[in-house]
A = this chain, B = another copy of it.
C-alpha cells in the first residue's frame, strides 16, 4: 500500500469532481455521474458523498467502502462549505489532491485551516500501468474502432471517380460527413460514445486536428482518425489510417512510405526501459534521412508537427506522452499510440496510428488492421 505513510500522518486523499468529466474520479469510483461529488480516502477506507438523486445508483455501482447520501448538498451555492463540513466532521486536517483540483474548493479549505498537498504528475500513478483486465477492455474498444475503420474504408473503396475528380458512392457524391456517419453508427451499435471522427481529405488533411468536411476526392490523401470510448468501461481506443482512392502522386507515396517505415521501426524498438524521447527521436531522425523537413514556412509549421504518441486509457490523451521532452522510460503495462505523420499545406497529410502495450520484454500491437496499402 503506497498510501501507508500518508495515511499514518492523517492525510486524506480527496477528489471533488464529476466522474463524466474527471477520469481520476471515474477511476476511483467506477461510477459515472454528470455532477460533481466527493471522494475521500482515509485510513478507514474510501467514501463518496453523493446527492440523493444519485444515491441508489452509487450504492449499486461505486467501488467504495461507503456511500453517504447527502440530500441537498449539490443543489445550492454552498458546495465548497459543505465540503469543509465533511472534512471537519471526518477530523481531516490535511488533504492530498490531484493537480486539477478546483481553486474554489482549495480556497474554502485554505480559509478553514485545512492544509492541501498537490500530488505532482499523475494522481493515481497506477493508471499509467494498465492491468491485464484494462488492456482487455482497451482491446475491446480497439476492435470497435477497427470495425468502424473497415466500414469507412469500404465506402471509399467502393466509390468511383466522377466529375471534378469527386468520389461518388451509389451515384451520390461521397462526403466526409457520410463516412463519419458510417463510423459513428458502428460506434453506437457497439456501445461506444465518440467525439467527431476525423475524415479529412486533401489540404484539410494537412491540419492534424481538422475534422474534414464536404466532398472527398480521388488521388488525394484521406486521413481517417477515430477514437471511440466504451460507455460501459470508460476506456478509449485510437487509430488512424490514410488512404487514397485512385492514384497517388510520387510525393504522397514517398511520404506514406516514410511514415510507415518510421512507425514500424519505432514500434519494434519499444520495450521496458527505453525512454519515450528515444522513440520520438527515432522517428524524427528517419524523417530527416528521408528528406522530410519539419520547419516553419510562412508562419506555419509543417513536417512532423506533433508528438509521436500519447497514452490512452480513461482519457483519450494521458500519460505517457511519447515526445522528445519526455525522458521517462517506458514500463510494462504502458498503453499508448504510435502515430507519426507528415503534413505539408500544398500536398496534404499522412498519418498512421496504432495502439500498443508495452509487454514484459517488448511490445504488443493492440491494432490488428492492415496499413500496407495507401491506394485502395
When the two chains form their complex, are residues B323 and A34 in contact, meaning their CB atoms are under 8 A apart? Answer: no
The stretch among A128-136, A153-161, A181-189, A252-260 that forms the contact with chain B is A181-189
Q: Which single residue of chain B is at the shortest CB-CB distance from A328?
A: B77
Copies per assembly: 2
Q: Which residues of B contact A99 (CB under 8 A)?
A: 102-104
Give the contacting residue for A195; candidates B100, B193, B208; CB below 8 A. B193
Interface residues on A, range: 35 or more
Tell me the minimal C-beta distance from A144 to chain B in angstroms: 14
When the two chains form their complex, are residues B185 and A306 in contact, meaning their CB atoms are under 8 A apart? Answer: no
When the two chains form their complex, are residues B53 and A209 in contact, meaning their CB atoms are under 8 A apart? Answer: yes
Q: Please report which residues of chain A, range 57-114, place their CB below 8 angstroms from some CB of chain B when the two chains form the complex.
A: 57, 69, 71-72, 75-78, 97, 99-104, 106-107
Tell me the minimal C-beta distance from A138 to chain B in angstroms: 18
Q: Which residues of B contact A185 (CB under 8 A)?
A: 185, 188
Interface of chain A, main secondary structure? loop
When the two chains form their complex, are residues B195 and A188 in contact, meaning their CB atoms are under 8 A apart? Answer: no
When the two chains form their complex, are residues B104 and A103 in contact, meaning their CB atoms are under 8 A apart? Answer: no
In the complex, whether A151 has a CB less than 8 A from a CB of chain B is: no
When the two chains form their complex, are residues B193 and A194 in contact, meaning their CB atoms are under 8 A apart? Answer: yes
When the two chains form their complex, are residues B118 and A107 in contact, meaning their CB atoms are under 8 A apart? Answer: yes
Tell me the minimal C-beta distance from A375 to chain B in angstroms: 27
In the complex, whether A46 has a CB less than 8 A from a CB of chain B is: no
Tell me the minimal C-beta distance from A72 to chain B in angstroms: 7
Contacts A189-B181, A195-B193: A325 and B103 contacting too (C-beta < 8 A)? Answer: no
Q: Which residues of B contact A102 (CB under 8 A)?
A: 99-103
Give the contacting residue for A118; candidates B104, B208, B299, B305; CB below 8 A. B104
When the two chains form their complex, are residues A56 and B188 in contact, meaning their CB atoms are under 8 A apart? Answer: no
Contacts A20-B195, A71-B301: A106 and B104 contacting too (C-beta < 8 A)? Answer: no
When the two chains form their complex, are residues B299 and A75 in contact, meaning their CB atoms are under 8 A apart? Answer: no
Q: Which residues of B contact A194 (CB under 8 A)?
A: 193
Contacts A71-B301, A72-B325: A53 and B103 contacting too (C-beta < 8 A)? Answer: no
When the two chains form their complex, are residues B56 and A300 in contact, meaning their CB atoms are under 8 A apart? Answer: yes
Q: Which residues of B contact A75 (CB under 8 A)?
A: 307, 321, 323, 325-326
When the two chains form their complex, are residues B56 and A210 in contact, meaning their CB atoms are under 8 A apart? Answer: yes
In the complex, whether A207 has a CB less than 8 A from a CB of chain B is: yes
Tell me the minimal C-beta distance from A109 to chain B in angstroms: 10
Q: Which residues of B contact A77 (CB under 8 A)?
A: 121, 325-326
Q: Which residues of B contact A34 (CB under 8 A)?
A: 195, 209, 316-317
In the complex, whether A275 has a CB less than 8 A from a CB of chain B is: no
In the complex, whether A33 has a CB less than 8 A from a CB of chain B is: yes
In the complex, whether A137 has a CB less than 8 A from a CB of chain B is: no
When the two chains form their complex, are residues A305 and B104 in contact, meaning their CB atoms are under 8 A apart? Answer: no
Kindly list 16 other residue pairs between chains A and B, CB separation below 8 angstroms, not including A20-B195, A188-B188, A193-B195: A34-B209, A34-B316, A52-B305, A53-B208, A53-B305, A54-B209, A56-B206, A56-B207, A57-B207, A57-B210, A75-B321, A77-B326, A101-B102, A103-B103, A181-B189, A196-B231
